[in-house]
Amino acid sequence: QAGRAENVVFVGRKPVMSYVVACLTLFNAGHREVLVKARGSAISTAVDSVELLRRAFARDVEIGGVEIGTEEVTGFEGRKSNVSTMEISLVKAASG
């Protein structure tokens, strides 16, 4: 995937707080929108991160939209399986 957008946070196995900090960092760098992407079991971590961010750290951040989908992933032995995906768009409300 060439030239990934710089306002995307990919959620994986790290603690929730590290994704909250990643989102805050992007907003503080001047981005108006941040995309939080996750698949499989990381989806619940993504939701926790977004909720913590909105409740405790950035009350001016709103959810712009949520997209869900499925990706086909090929495993080690060539087995294909479907993995759920989710993308949460976070938008900083215009200050004014």
pLDDT tens sequence across 10-63? 999 999 999 999 999 999 999 999 999 999 999 999 999 999 999 999 999 999
> What spatial distance separates the first Cα and last Cα of the chain, rounded to whole Å?
37
pTM of the predicted protein model: 0.87
